[in-house]
Chains A and B, each alone.
Chain A
Amino acid sequence: MSDSEERDRPSNDRRSGGGGRKFSRSRNVCRMCADGVEQIDYKDVNTLRHYVSDHGRILPRRRSKTCARHQRMVSVAVKRARQVALLPYSAVHVREDAS
């Protein structure tokens, strides 16, 4: 989906090259769609870990390759998990802990 935007952008794209497509069309299929995930449990910390950065921030869709629907479910689940300290709000807390 995001790659189509890139192809349409004329700036640094060799227009009249004729040498075929510059960008290989990589299909970004949401993995959770492929797996048929219907809900995401906020208690499932191990799964949610894949969708947050090392600092505990929710990864943007372009990084996590999720569709809009599943990204929405991920973000709700992560936010719930944060409320009950299953996931950190930020990495700062961790460092405070260690020192």
Chain B
Amino acid sequence: MRSYELLFIVRPGLDEEAMAALMERLQNAVRDNGGKILRIDSMGRRKLAYPIAKQTEGHYMILQAEMDQTVIRQVERLIALSEDIIRHLLVRMDDEQE
């Protein structure tokens, strides 16, 4: 399994409860498929460099995890279905950083 970093932007209007539920679902998606979460972090609320989904701000979240293709497929599916995640980026960490 490789290490990946997933950065995703959550719609700013989301309340804390829904946010927690969303994070829970994501973490479960990783764990239930045999992935291992390495780090979860928030970059906080930031202004977007350009509007996405009619939003000018967003909550930036980072999730680093060891995943294989099955996990990635599930996680990306979840992201695609979620209306609260307006953008995401998945990059390999392996030879990069930490």
Contact = CB atoms under 8 A, between A and B. Distances in A.
Contacts of B9: 84-85
A41 B43 CA distance: 14
A42 B48 CA distance: 15
Interface string A75-99: 0000010111111110001100100
Contacts of A93: 49-51
* Secondary structure call for the A interface: loop
Interface residues of A, number: 17
B40 interface: no
A82 B89 CA distance: 11
Given A80-B91, A93-B51, A97-B51, A85 B58 contact: yes
A81 B74 CA distance: 24
A86 B87 contact: no
A43 interface: yes
Interface of A: 39, 41-43, 56, 80, 82-89, 93-94, 97
The 7 A-B pairs at the shortest CB distance, nearest first, are namely A93-B50, A85-B48, A88-B49, A85-B49, A39-B96, A84-B89, A83-B89
